[in-house]
Amino acid sequence: MRENTINHLRELEAESIYVIREVVAQFEKPVMLFSGGKDSIVMFHLSRKAFWPAKIPFPMLHIDTGHNFQETLDYRDNLMNESGTKLIVAYVQDSIDNGRVVEETGVNASRNVLQTVTLLDALEEMKIDVAMGGGRRDEEKARAKERFFSHRDEFGQWDPKNQRPELWNIFNGKKHMGEHFRVFPISNWTEMDVWQYIYMEDIPMPCIYFTHKRKVFNRDGVWLAWAPFMQLKENEEVIVEDVRCRTIGDITCTGLTLSKAITLEEIIQEVATTRITERGGRWDDKRSEAAMEDRKKEGYF
């Protein structure tokens, strides 16, 4: 490369750090959503870089569905301790117990949809005016038009018709009382960029991103992890396979990839040759074609 140029990852990094700093400068009570997924791990890393040598000046918020991979929780707790970052956990179980939401039943039951209520309640209770999330525009059609700074009304809803134009790198976070923002610092990253960046920066990852043996079953072409609370359909059978996670969410709807990848290089190779989108492996998006768009309007990320 020529002198005075930076590669695409460094440029994405610079943009994301700029956005994260902008959030802290423009808002009073920011949080960053942390799920333990690779996108939130990258966002965490970027936040660290943005404020170094100071600590990250906002807490992480984890919406805990109760259906976790234990490995993710261990990783999360380690990271927060080691970096001295404050962690807030909001439990979907609490929303169920206090009657804010009703648990889904049946074989496809998932708590992913319920998360929205837990999230919005948590934001309101803590008087949060901006929540940063790891959404990327390449993930899904409904996200392609999303802004870096996404305006939400008092009910946390996203109105696609009422979003502000974003020009250059001037972000307008002005708002009325009670309104808030969702901000997506890694909007312009693709899955490939995320993995390459993890590789370039040598960021430690939870072990379940790499190949491991796990009890799994196949539902309509998607490999899902077996857990005691999962209901199987008649024709489904639990077997042990070499798998890794491509993205991590609630265990009930996180699709796994059959894989033998043990290094980041191998994962990058796999991503480069994979012919299925990341969300194609997410059961919750498959449930309805317009699933994502609907959930966004309700206030999910």
Partner 1 sequence: MSISNAGYLNMELLRFTTAGSVDDGKSTLIGRLLYDSKAIFEDQMEAIERASERTGDEEVNLALLTDGLRAEREQGITIDVAYRYFATPKRKFIIADTPGHIQYTRNMVTGASTANVAVILVDARNGVIEQTVRHAYIASLLQIPHIIVCVNKMDLVHFSEEVFENIQRQFKKYSAKLEVKDVRFVPISAKYGDNVVKRSENTGWYDGPTLMYLLENIHISSDLNHTHQRLPVQYVIRPQSDKLPDYRGYAGRIASGVFRPGDRVKVLPSGITTSIRSIDTYKAELDIAFAPQSVTVQLNDDLDISRGDMIVGEHKAPEMGREIDMMICWLSEKPMINRGKYAFRHTTNDMKCVIADVKYKVDINTLDKNYEDKNIGLNEIGRIIVKTTRPLFYDSYRINRITGSVILVDEATNNTVGAGMII
**What residue ranges bind partner 1 (CB under 8 A)?**
1-2, 4-15, 17-18, 21-22, 24-25, 48-55, 137-138, 141-142, 144-145, 160-161, 163-170, 172, 174-176, 187-188, 190, 192-193, 196, 199-200, 265, 268-269, 272, 274-277, 280
Q: How far apart are CA 41 and CA 194, in angstroms?
A: 10
**What distance in Å separates the CA atoms of residue 266 and residue 276, rounded to the nearest whole number?**
17
Q: Which residue, 92 or 135, is less far from partner 1 as judged by CB?
A: 135
* Structural contact between residues 10 and 196, judged by C-beta atoms closer than 8 angstroms: no
Shortest reach from residue 196's CB to partner 1, in Å:
5
Q: Do 62 and 91 form a contact (C-beta atoms < 8 A)?
A: no
Q: Which CB, 66 or 178, lies closer to partner 1?
A: 178
The distance of closest approach from Cβ of residue 48 to partner 1 in the complex, given in angstroms and rounded to an integer, is 7
Nearer residue to partner 1 within complex by CB, 69 or 184: 184
Task: Give min distance, CB of 177 to partner 1, in A.
Answer: 11
Smallest separation (angstroms) from partner 1 to the CB of 137: 5
Q: Where are the beta strands (DSSP E) in 8-132?
A: 30-33, 60-64, 87-91, 130-132
Which tokens in the block code for residue 229? 């609370």
* Under 8 Å between Cβ of 93 and 66: yes
Cis peptide bond N-terminal to 57, omega within 30: no
Nearer to partner 1, 2 or 213 (CB): 2
Q: Which is closer to partner 1, CB of 95 or CB of 196?
A: 196
CA distance 155 to 116: 11
Q: How far is the CB of 279 from partner 1 (least distance, A)?
A: 8
E-assigned strands of 74-156? 87-91, 130-132, 149-152
Smallest gap from Cβ 64 to partner 1, in A, equals 29
User: Considering beta carbons, is residue 192 or 239 the nearer one to partner 1?
Assistant: 192
User: CA distances (Å), 10 to each of 7, 167, 194, in order?
Assistant: 5, 21, 12
